[in-house]
Amino acid sequence: MSIYTELQSKMKAVRLVESSDALPQLIKKAETQELSYSQFLLSVMTYEQQRRSEKVIEKRLKWASFPIYKTLEEFSLQEQPTLKKQSFNQLTDLAWLDQLYNLILLGPTGVGKTHLAIGIGIKAIQEGYKVAFISMGELIQVLKTEEMTRKSRLRLKRIREANLVILDDLMFMAVDRREANLLFDLINELYNQSSILLTSNKGPGDWGELLGDPALTAAILDRLIHRSEVIQLGGDSYRMKYRSTIFH
């Protein structure tokens, strides 16, 4: 066994897997830059640390189940006149996450609620938080099938373990009493444990009609709105403004 092969083997044995796989490049860089032994060792450890961090982020992005990758840098404040830059900065510095605050984004379809929610979620992952994204329709289905399918149990496990749970299009459809109770049970579980970011095109005053139970609606609102920030987004639909067309 050559020294090179033995070195790779021992690196893997002590779980320096990432730098073991990149050893040829690391050695070449060290020779080119004429690094000292300590500098080479530091470059190996730095590479290992960076790659491990990158892989954690990649895994958490996958587990978050975002429907599309949309960053905060892509969000145009110029298209959203109701959201001031100072407010945007306060939302995106994520201090509210550590305080277990909830964030409620309200507004009509197409004004950027989901984009902003996903952007915040991606930044949270990059800063070390666990995030779960799910739409209202999918959440109800997952809750109803938790006891029947492993996939639903796994999805809910990740939701319950997340630091930030993003519920998209909350109250976009009416739910029956059983579904409303399942939704309440989950929100009650997350209360004082995780931050919830929800988007909706209906204000809290309209939720009772969709849930069909005033007492249950009050209980859900009590847990969501306690320690929360409500942001009302307005303006024209971004998707309509910049829609593609087959006509010229």
Lowest model confidence (mean pLDDT) among 78-82, 95-99, 143-147: 78-82
pLDDT higher than threshold 50 for residue 15: yes
pLDDT higher than threshold 80 for residue 242: no
- Order the strands of the 102-106 sheet from edge to edge: 131-135, 164-168, 195-200, 102-106, 228-232
Tell me if the pTM is above 0.85.
no
Each residue of 94-124: pLDDT tens digit?
Answer: 999 999 999 999 988 878 899 999 999 999 9
Q: Which residues contact residue 192 at a Cβ distance below 8 angstroms, ignoring those fewer than 6 apart?
A: 100
**How far is 7 from 2, CA to CA, in rounded Å?**
8
Here the tokens at position 161 are: 């373990």
pLDDT at position 217: 80
Identify residue 180 by its one-letter amino acid code: A
Sign of CA dihedral 154, 158, 159, 161: positive
Each residue of 151-176: pLDDT tens digit?
Answer: 999 999 999 999 999 999 876 666 78
Q: Which residues contact residue 236 at a Cβ distance below 8 angstroms, ignoring those fewer than 6 apart?
A: 110, 111
Asked if 87 and 120 touch (Cβ cutoff 8 Å), the reply is no
